[in-house]
């Protein structure tokens, strides 16, 4: 009876595990080579057989990422796995690699589910000295840990019992490194958590230029009642570079405005049936330039990886449509900032709105501060007063129970790819 409840999927994994002892192969983390994804934890090798939780909504099982617009009403999560004595597969013993005073992590100390405990909180290896070598199996890491990139591999090396690392934020660039890529670990993050705020920012940035808000404010200051034509977003084209959760949230809004949407991503096939995009391109140079030439508004919502660094360069800016507006909200290094500044100065671009930069805080010497046609924000356009608390809550209410019940985890990321 026990075996009959094991799904065919799990049986296949068990079978494959016998063929190879390398964790990496079994984990089958999303890679560019295969479009296939499967999200199993390494405990399949050593622990009990995975039995799907009966309390979990079967229709939700196939969701591989968390998207706040679809799954939560503000503050409440609606796909919560109920942990019962029958469904517990293992305990979660957590190392909290964060600043101990980080208030956003309050859910870790106030609302941990049954079967989970925080062993220790600290920001460097030595803080965790008194934790036994085979005790922890989970690491929760926040950007509030100053040298997380250095400390995380050290932690993983000292505690080989660690199976899973959850990154509180969406960006994982602050923890990835070659050292980390060497280690076999399953990693998840908070993608989808910040998307709606950034989508709101994107539409604001588009309207800022369409209705010529700079002109409006200048006229208001000089008490000048002068009518002028405004542009519509309706009918214009939004080009989205990096079509992940944030890109898709932007597309959702832009679509309702009546904009045409073209997107660019590593795996365009994954968006083949996307209801919002009229075209989806791959990341080759030609496609990028095509997107730039078709779009009235371009938003870069791509992560910073080895491949994307400096991707939007002088060539790309040369290809833009007349009067184009550029919006940057993924990661600064994706843009060649010098090329952007040149394009803004020589009129190739009508304007730009930037929330992220190669160097943050943006140094006073950077020319962007002085350009009139640039809207600058201090990387805070996703910074709602509760966003980091909610990101922690996502770990506590969504992924921890899944881990404890042997369920597939949400939001897997590939440290080698950088996203």
Partner 1 sequence: MSSNQYWNRETSERAQYSQDKQVTQPANIICLTDKNDDANRKLYDGELPEGAKILTVASKFDDFEIKELKEANANVVFVSHPKAREPLAKLLEEIPSIKWVHSRSAGVDFISSETLANSNVYLTNAKGCFSSTLAEYTMMAISYFAKDLPRLLKQKQDKNWEKYPVEEIRGATLGVVGYGDIGRAAAKLSKAYGMKVIALRRNPDNSKDDPICDVVYKNSKESLHQLMSESDYILCAAPLTPETKNMFDAAAFSKAKPNSVFINVGRGPIVDEMALIGALKNGLIKGAALDVFAVEPLPIESELWDMPNLLASPHNMDMTKTFMHEATQFFIDENLPRFLREEPLLNQCDKAAGY
Give the separation between CA 141 and CA 190, rounded to whole angstroms. Answer: 11
Q: Which is nearer to partner 1, 101 or 178 (CB)?
A: 101
Contact residues: partner 1, CB under 8 A: 69, 74, 196-197, 200-201, 203-204, 207-208, 210-211, 213, 216-217, 219-220, 223, 225-234, 252-253, 256-258, 360-362, 364, 369, 374-385
- How many C-beta atoms lie closer than 10 Å to residue 225's C-beta? 6
Q: Which is nearer to partner 1, 108 or 251 (CB)?
A: 251
Omega before 5 within 30 of 0, i.e. cis: no
Q: Which is nearer to partner 1, 101 or 226 (CB)?
A: 226
Phi, psi (degrees; rounded to nearest 5) at 335? -100, 140
Q: Which residue has the tokens 């020589």?
A: 346
Least Å distance, CB 360 to partner 1, is 8
The DSSP secondary structure of 320-384, one letter per residue, reads PPTTEEEEE-S-GGGB-HHHHHHHHHTTSEEEEEES--SSSSPPTT-GGGG-TTEEE--S-TT--
Contact 301, 248 (CB under 8 A): no
Give the separation between CA 293 and CA 287, rounded to whole angstroms. Answer: 10
Q: Which is nearer to partner 1, 195 or 271 (CB)?
A: 195
Give the separation between CA 127 and CA 13, rounded to whole angstroms. Answer: 37
Least Å distance, CB 255 to partner 1, is 8
Residue 215 annotated to the active site: no
Residue 331 annotated to the active site: yes
* Alpha helix (H) residue ranges in 346-413: 387-394, 400-404
Least Å distance, CB 333 to partner 1, is 17
Q: For the sheet with 279-281, list strands across it.
A: 279-281, 260-264, 237-241, 297-300, 324-328, 349-354, 374-376
Nearest to 283 by CA among 259, 296, 300, 258: 300
State how far Cα 94 lies from the chain centre: 22
Residue 379 annotated to the active site: yes
Least Å distance, CB 415 to partner 1, is 27
Least Å distance, CB 390 to partner 1, is 11
Q: Which is nearer to partner 1, 84 or 384 (CB)?
A: 384
Give the separation between CA 97 and CA 79, rounded to whole angstroms. Answer: 26
The SS3 call for residue 115 is: coil
Which residues does 356 contact at the CB level (< 8 Å), separation at least 6? 328, 329, 330, 331, 332, 379
Q: Which is nearer to partner 1, 124 or 379 (CB)?
A: 379
Q: Which is nearer to partner 1, 34 or 385 (CB)?
A: 385
Give the separation between CA 177 and CA 142, rounded to whole angstroms. Answer: 16
The SS3 call for residue 298 is: strand
Q: Which is nearer to partner 1, 100 or 258 (CB)?
A: 258
Give the separation between CA 418 and CA 172, rounded to whole angstroms. Answer: 7
Give the separation between CA 332 and CA 347, rounded to whole angstroms. Answer: 21
Least Å distance, CB 77 to partner 1, is 15
Catalytic residue among 68, 265, 331, 402: 331
Catalytic residue among 90, 149, 309, 379: 379
- List, by residue number, the catalytic residues: 331, 360, 379
């Amino acid at each position: 009876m026990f075996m009959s409840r094991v799904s065919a999927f799990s049986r296949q994994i068990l079978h494959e595990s016998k063929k190879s002892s390398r964790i990496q192969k079994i984990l089958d983390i999303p890679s560019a080579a295969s479009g296939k994804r499967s999200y199993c934890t390494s405990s399949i090798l050593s622990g009990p057989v995975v039995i799907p939780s009966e309390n979990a909504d079967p229709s939700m099982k196939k969701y591989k990422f968390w998207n706040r617009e679809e799954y939560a009403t503000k503050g409440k999560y609606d796909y919560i796995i109920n942990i019962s004595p029958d469904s517990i597969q293992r305990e979660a013993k957590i190392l909290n690699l964060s600043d101990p005073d980080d208030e956003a992590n309050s859910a870790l100390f106030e609302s941990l589910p049954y079967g989970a405990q925080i062993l220790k909180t600290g920001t460097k290896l030595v803080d965790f000295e008194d934790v036994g070598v085979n005790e922890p199996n989970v690491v929760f890491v926040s950007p509030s840990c100053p040298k997380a990139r250095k400390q995380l591999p050290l932690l993983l090396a000292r505690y080989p019992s660690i199976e899973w690392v959850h990154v509180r934020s969406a960006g994982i660039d602050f923890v990835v490194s070659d050292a980390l890529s060497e280690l076999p670990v399953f990693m998840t993050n908070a993608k989808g958590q910040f998307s709606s705020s950034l989508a709101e920012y994107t539409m604001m940035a588009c309207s800022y230029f369409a209705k010529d808000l700079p002109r409006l404010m200048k006229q208001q200051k000089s008490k000048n009642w002068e009518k002028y034509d405004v542009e519509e977003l309706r009918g214009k084209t939004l080009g989205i570079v990096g079509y992940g959760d944030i890109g898709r949230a932007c597309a959702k809004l832009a679509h309702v405005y009546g904009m045409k949407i073209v997107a660019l991503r590593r795996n365009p096939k994954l968006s083949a049936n996307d209801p919002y995009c009229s075209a989806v391109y791959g990341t080759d140079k030609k496609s990028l330039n095509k997107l730039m030439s078709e779009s009235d508004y371009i938003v870069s919502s791509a992560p910073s990886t080895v491949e994307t660094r400096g991707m939007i360069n002088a060539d790309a800016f040369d290809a833009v449509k007349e009067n184009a507006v550029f919006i940057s909200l993924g990661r600064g290094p994706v843009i060649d900032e010098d090329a952007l500044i040149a394009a803004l100065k020589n009129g190739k671009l009508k304007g730009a709105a930037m929330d992220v930069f190669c160097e943050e805080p943006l140094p006073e010497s950077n020319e962007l501060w002085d350009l009139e046609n640039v809207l600058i924000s201090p990387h805070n356009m996703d910074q709602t007063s509760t966003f980091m608390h909610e990101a922690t809550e996502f770990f506590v209410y969504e992924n921890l129970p899944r881990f404890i019940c042997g369920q597939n985890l949400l939001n897997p990321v590939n440290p080698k790819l950088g996203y």
